[in-house]
Amino acid sequence: RFDKRDRCDDAVPCWSLALRLDLEGCAKLASGRRGSLPFGRVRERTGLGHQSSVEQEYGFRIRAETISEQPGDHVTASKLPTVFKWSGAGKEVFLSGSFNNWQAKIPLVKSQDHFYTIVDLPEGEHEYQFIVDGKWQANPKEPTRQNAGRGGPLNNVLEVKSSDFEVFEALAMDIAESTQSKEHGQSEVSERLRHRSGSPPGRYTSQVPSGSARQPAGPNRAPPVLPQQLLQVILNRPTDSRLDPNLLPEPEHVMLNHLYALSIKDGVVVLSTIHRYRKKFVTTVMYKPCD
């Protein structure tokens, strides 16, 4: 059931205010806490939720005593969150009604030219009044009723129905389904990554099976005389006749800063070393007679 009124000046089921994006003050009350009404998502979608003048001046937020503090983002079966709004003049506005036996005064938070609060009410009909600067008042723009039991004042009347909150139940179900689908997609990605790891299925142990082709090296096996990357040094490579004999090919980085010695030939010892200066490589070759 949709509220077709152009403006909502007093107390109505809170979904009608949310659909018209008229919840700035309510979003401020509900921001920073988990309540029975998903105002956090309303504030994200509408951009509402800036600090009110009360918060900026005193550094704290006035909160109604009967505002829901139950966990969860959906409407509970016992009580339904209802928005109360006062659009008239006044500096301090409170709310009292039959739902609290006219005893407690629930403060309303000012946002621009309006005052708001959220109260969890059971389903049914409720009477209430606003206390504006110490004076009891009823909003003449909302339904009223003569109350002879309290000296004959006019009270505003509100009927709370669970059918008015079906839209929030639908939103909660959509969010739950989207969360489940997201988690399911993440699990599928994890499963695909696990299969791409390259490890064949089966049981793994630290024991090497007998007859394996890869036998561990024996304790008496000597290390190589020269590392593999140093076998192809420049002095061991044949010089290409098509290249300039004064220019050697660019060495690999592992060949730098090593001292190389060629086999003694004709009584001469040949020593060589390679250094790098910025982007240039210098190869020094020293010849020494062998005594």
Residue-wise pLDDT tens digits, 76-133: 557 888 889 888 888 899 999 999 989 889 999 988 888 989 998 888 889 999 999 9
Taking residues 242-270, report their average pLDDT. 82
Instruction: For residue range 193-221, list pLDDT tens digits in order.
Output: 666 656 677 777 888 777 655 555 566 67
pLDDT averaged over the chain? Answer: 70
Judge if 11-170 and 228-289 fold alike in CATH terms.
no
pLDDT above 70 for 177: yes
Of 103-107, 133-137, 180-184, 280-284, give the lowest mean pLDDT range: 180-184
Q: For residue 95, what pLDDT is reported?
A: 93
Of 2-16, 84-98, 159-173, give the lowest mean pLDDT range: 2-16
End-to-end CA distance of the chain: 112
Q: Which residue has the tokens 């690999």?
A: 252
**11-170 classified as CATH 2.60.40.10:** yes
Instruction: For residue range 181-191, list pLDDT tens digits in order.
Output: 777 667 776 66
pLDDT above 70 for 161: yes
SS (H, E, C) the chain: CCCCCCCCCCEEEHHHHHHCCCCHHHHHHHCCCCCCCCHHHHHHHHCCCCCCHHHHHHCCCCCCCCCCCCCCCCCCCCEEEEEEEECCCCCCEEEEEHHHCCCCCEECEEECCEEEEEEEEECEEEEEEEEECCEEECCCCCCEEECHHHCCCEEEEEEECHHHHHHHHHHHHHHHHHHHHHHHHHHHHHHHHHHCCCCCCCCCCCCCCCCCCCCCCCCCCCCCCCCHHHCCCHHHCCCCCCCCCCCCCCCCHHHCCCEEECCCECCEEEEEEEEEECCEEEEEEEEEECC
Taking residues 56-77, report their average pLDDT. 45
Instruction: For residue range 31-53, list pLDDT tens digits in order.
Output: 443 333 334 333 333 334 444 44
CA distance 160 to 148: 23
pLDDT above 70 for 145: yes
Q: What pTM was computed for the model?
A: 0.37
CA distance 154 to 72: 36
62 vs 212, residue with greater confidence: 212
Q: For residue 93, what pLDDT is reported?
A: 92
**Ramachandran class of 97: left when φ > 0, alpha when ψ lies in -120 to 50, beta otherwise:** beta
Taking residues 148-162, report their average pLDDT. 77
pLDDT above 60 for 11: no
Residue 154 phi/psi, 5-degree rounding, is -85, 125
pLDDT above 80 for 226: no
CATH of domain 228-289: 2.20.25.290
| Percent residues over pLDDT 70 in the chain | 61
